[in-house]
Structure 1
Amino acid sequence: MTLAQARLLAESGDLPAAAELFAEALDDPAPSGRAQAALGLAVVLEELGEHDAARDADWTAIETGDPEYGPRAAYHLALACERAGDRGAAEEAWHLVVSSEHPAYLPAACLALAQLADDDGELETAVGWWEKVVATGDEQYTPVAAHDLAQRLLEQGQTARAQQVLAAALRATPPEGYAYARLAVAMGLTHLEQAISAFTAAMDSTNAPDVAPLAVELLARTLPLRGRDGEAEEVWRRGLSDPLLADQVAARLHREPPAP
């Protein structure tokens, strides 16, 4: 009854009274009851600005070993540590969430650890965590993980692998909404990278001089779409400096763009 009263007080905004009742409920000998009380106390204390005491309460819940409220407390602790800027404590708490294998909190924990590893430049570790998120199939976190994973793979030149990740995520994501659109744009970028590689190969081919001017133009006009303006200018310069291509390349460079 004490737990129910404490929750009602917390919901009504009487946080000090709720904290008092949650603290009383810590005497519950059952791990589940003690864990619920400790987590409730941690949430209330956090809202009251008593951050150190809130962390202690979270740890009390975690140490009960309760399979439901222990992971919830670890999740709450991780978020609280992140807000406080305590990166090390947050990472420790996220690992606790992962070790619990609780399906409700596992995707968020793996994504958080991926982001921490990515921030540290530990790409392979980050990739491993992103892949774990994707493997859960979670509707909220999988699109985010797939996008970030694909972005890093694309930066590493692993275009085909990035496309595989994105294609699977797109199939599992409802076509309406922000997540799908973000994944679709990322997929488009992978195709741009493939186009750049193909146009470069065509331009470099010594056996297709009739195709080279078109390849020069397509490559030079595609590179800026990836923010590679300097490379685009170099492609134009290279085409204009080739006696066999200069006239055709110049014509393509200076032609008027098609009317909208």
Structure 2
Amino acid sequence: MTLAQARLLAETGDLSAAAELFAAALDEPDPSGRAQAALGLAVVLEELGEHAAARDADWTAIETGDPEYGPRAAYHLAVSCERAGDRPAAEQAWRLVVSSAHPAYLPAACLALAQLADDDGDTETAAGWWQKVIATGDEQHAPVAAHDLAQRLLEQGQTARAQQILAAALRAAPPEGYAYARLAVAMGLTHLEQAIGAFRAAVDATDAPDVAPLAVELLARTLPLRGRDEEAAHIWQRGLADPLLAEQVAARLNRAQSTG
């Protein structure tokens, strides 16, 4: 009864009274009841701004070993530590969530650990966590993981692998909304990188007047779409410096400049 009363008080905004009842319920002999009380206490104390005490309550819930409320408390603890900027404590809590293998919290925990590794520049470890998120098939977190992993693979020149991941994510995602659009844009970028590679190969392969000027223009006009303006300028200059191509390249450059 104490737990029900405490929840009702928390829901109606009487946080101090709720905290008292949750604290009283910590004497519950049943581990599940004690875990529920400790988690409720942690949530209320967090809202009251008593962050250290809230963390202690989370740990009390975690240490009960309850399969439901222990992972919930670890999740709450991780989010609380992240908000406070306590990265080591947040990472420890996220790893506790992962070790619980609770399906409701596992994807978020793996995604958080991927982000932490990525922030450290440890792309290999981050990729492992992103792949774990993707494997869960979670509708909310898997598309985020697929996008972030594909971005890193693209930066490493692994375009085909990035496309495979994005294609699978696009097949699984509803064809509307933010997540789908974000994945679609990322897929477009992979094709853009492939186009840049193909145009560059053509420029490097020949100076034939019926092919090279077009390749120069396509490469030079595509590179800025990826923020590579200096490279684009170099490609134009390279074409203009070739006696066989200069006239056609100049005409294409003038057209490009006139059309913006």
Distance 2:145 2:72 in 1: 22
| Counterpart in the other structure of 1:49 | 49
- Taking structure 2 as the reference length, the TM-score comes to 0.98
The answer to whether the Cα contact below 8 Å between 1:202 and 1:208 also exists between their aligned partners in 2 is: no
| Conserved 8 A contact 2:207-2:244 | no
Task: Using the TM superposition, name which of 205-214 and 182-191 deviates more.
Answer: 205-214
Helix, strand or coil at the partner of 2:27: coil
Change (3 A) 1:256 1:74: closer
In structure 2, distance between residues paired with 1:256 and 1:203: 18
- The aligned counterpart of 1:58 is 58
Tell me which residue corresponds to 1:176. 176
Q: Deviations over 1:187-211 (max 9, x none)?
A: 0000000000000001111374421
Q: Is the contact between residue 196 and residue 222 of structure 1 (CA under 8 Å) also seen in structure 2?
A: yes
Partner of 1:114: 114
* Matched length: 260
Gapped regions of structure 2 (runs ≥ 5): none
Map of 2:241 onto structure 1:
241
Structure 2: distance between partners of 1:245 and 1:207: 7
After superposition, the Cα gap between the structure-2 partners of 1:256 and 1:101, relative to the gap in structure 1 and judged at 3 Å, is closer
- In the TM superposition, residue 53 of structure 1 has moved relative to its aligned partner by 0.5
CA–CA distance in 1 between the matches of 2:88 and 2:166? 31
Task: Specify the alignment match of 2:215 in structure 1.
Answer: 215
- Cα deviations across residues 157-176 of structure 1 (Å, max 9, x unaligned)? 00000001110111111111
Alignment of 1:127 with 2:127, yes or no, is yes
Whether 1:252 aligns to 2:246 is no
Q: Which runs of 5+ in 1 are unaligned?
A: none
Equivalence map 1:20-59=2 (5 Å): 20-59=20-59
Task: Decide whether aligned partners of structure 1 residues 41 and 122 sit closer, same or farther in structure 2, where only a CA change above 3 A counts.
Answer: same
- Cα separation, 1, equivalents of 2:155 and 2:209: 31
2:152 alignment partner AA: R
Residue of structure 2 in register with 1:67 after alignment: 67
TM-aligned CA deviation for residue 126 of structure 1: 0.4
How many angstroms apart in 1 are the aligned matches of 2:258 and 2:153? 35
Q: Secondary structure at the match of 1:255?
A: helix
CA RMSD of superposed structures (Å): 1.4
Q: CA-to-partner distance for each residue in 1:27-84, whole Å, 9 max, x for gaps?
A: 1111111100000000000000110000000000000000000000000000000000
1:257: Cα distance to partner?
7.4
Percent identity for Structure 1 against Structure 2? 85
TM-score normalised by length of structure 1: 0.98
Q: 2: CA distance between counterparts of 1:7 and 1:115?
A: 34
In the alignment, residue 254 of structure 2 is paired with which amino acid?
A: H
- State the alpha-carbon separation in 1 of the partners of residues 253 and 159 from structure 2: 29
Distance 2:72 2:93 in 1: 11
Q: Which position in structure 2 is the counterpart of 1:11?
A: 11
Alpha carbons 1:196, 1:219 under 8 Å: kept? yes
